[in-house]
Amino acid sequence: MGCVLPVLGAAGIADRLSRRRPWARLALTATTTWAVTGAASLASEAERIRAALDAGDLPAARAALPSLCGRDPGGLDEAEIARAVIESVAENTSDGAVAPLLWGGVAGPGGLAAYRAVNTLDSMVGYRSPRYARFGWASARLDDVANWAPARLTGLLAVACAPVAGGSPVAAWRAMRRYGPRHPSPNAGRCEAAFAGALGIRLGGSSAYDGVTEHRPWLGDGRVPGPADIGRAIRLSRAVTIAATGIAVLTSMIVQEMTGAGASWRVGNRSPGRHPPGPAQLPPGLVGGRSPGSSDSDAPPADHSARGRRLRHGRSGRARTPGASHQRSHRLAPTGLRVITGHKPSTPGGNTEP
């Protein structure tokens, strides 16, 4: 945690400072995304190994393999190197592209930087060895939690994008459901099984790491992979990355909309009570009894009832000419309407109101 918290704090401060500066925030997000995602370098290294295998240069392919995975390259034949490359492409599509994009969509630049710190810490010390037994397990478990949702999203996107690599979505779905849980990793198995089903090949088996051979279950029921399948895996990885980018953008828009709506609700509900609107808050058409630009023809029809005549002529029945000395303005709250009259209105009993 001592490595993660400083990175998270610095990213959080930068995110907060750029929140009200759209261009600064765009530059921060683009720079952080470029720094933490590894889709381009993953495809470049896998393509380099594929080219070496196509040229029949097995020593060059073995020499380039450690740039993608940590297994021992010595003694691996062409099919085993192809299997190692495809497994690495599948797993790193989740770790190096989908996961940081998804966390960036949820938490912004801070989420991008925090995820990369967690994943890098797991790569450095998350091993089951006597040297890292006391604290390596914590970073490994934290990385498992951070990659749980992205790994499953990667598997689903590989199923959806299988036709890009000439595969079947149905076969990819069946392979992910059947073989994914068999992998010792709670996350990598979903990605590798989905890629195996989409490409129609079989992954897994025995692999040597630092002189120790590990036997893992088979993933998929297809044929043995070859160099051409590396190129198909790269195309599938790129399609998954593009789809994950769209999902991350949509997620970011939803999160911003939710947080913006919450801020507006808090601002609009600061006062505990509700008060009637004053004249300044009323629509312009209600202030003064007329809308701006209206004429006498727009006025309401005259009241010709008995009460209306009393209001116009008074008790004596004589009409009064409205003058400056008789006009009074009565403002009726809360509507703000203005009534012009010459005297106080009479009550039904004939007495004037006090």
Cα 240 to chain centroid distance, Å, stands at 16
pLDDT interval class at 91 (50, 70, 90)? very high
Q: Which amino acid is at 208?
A: A
Asked if the structure places residue 215 within a domain, the reply is yes
Q: Would you state the pLDDT for residue 46?
A: 94
What would you report as the CA-atom Rg of the chain, rounded to the nearest whole angstrom?
37
Q: Which residues pair with 331 in a beta bridge?
A: 338
Count of domains observed in the chain: 1
Q: Are 207 and 85 a contacting pair, CB within 8 Å?
A: no
| Range(s) of the domain holding residue 237 | 4-263
Instruction: For residues 231 and 164, give the distance between their C-alpha atoms in angstroms, rounded to a whole number.
Output: 11
Asked if the structure places residue 318 within a domain, the reply is no
Query: Residue 70's closest CA among 208, 218, 196, 190?
Result: 208
Output the CA angle 57-60-62, nearest 5 degrees.
Answer: 110
Quick: pLDDT tens for 37-88: 777 888 999 999 999 999 999 999 999 999 888 888 888 999 999 999 999 9
How is residue 288 written in tokens?
Answer: 């003064």
Residue 318 or residue 36, greater confidence: 36
34 φψ region: left (φ > 0), alpha (ψ -120 to 50), beta (else)? alpha
Q: Which residues pair with 216 in a beta bridge?
A: 205
pTM of structure:
0.68
Which of 274-280's residues contact partners 24+ apart within 8 Å by CB, and which partners? 276/333, 276/334, 277/334, 279/336
Q: Are 187 and 160 a contacting pair, CB within 8 Å?
A: no
Asked if the structure places residue 158 within a domain, the reply is yes
Q: Are 335 and 277 a contacting pair, CB within 8 Å?
A: no
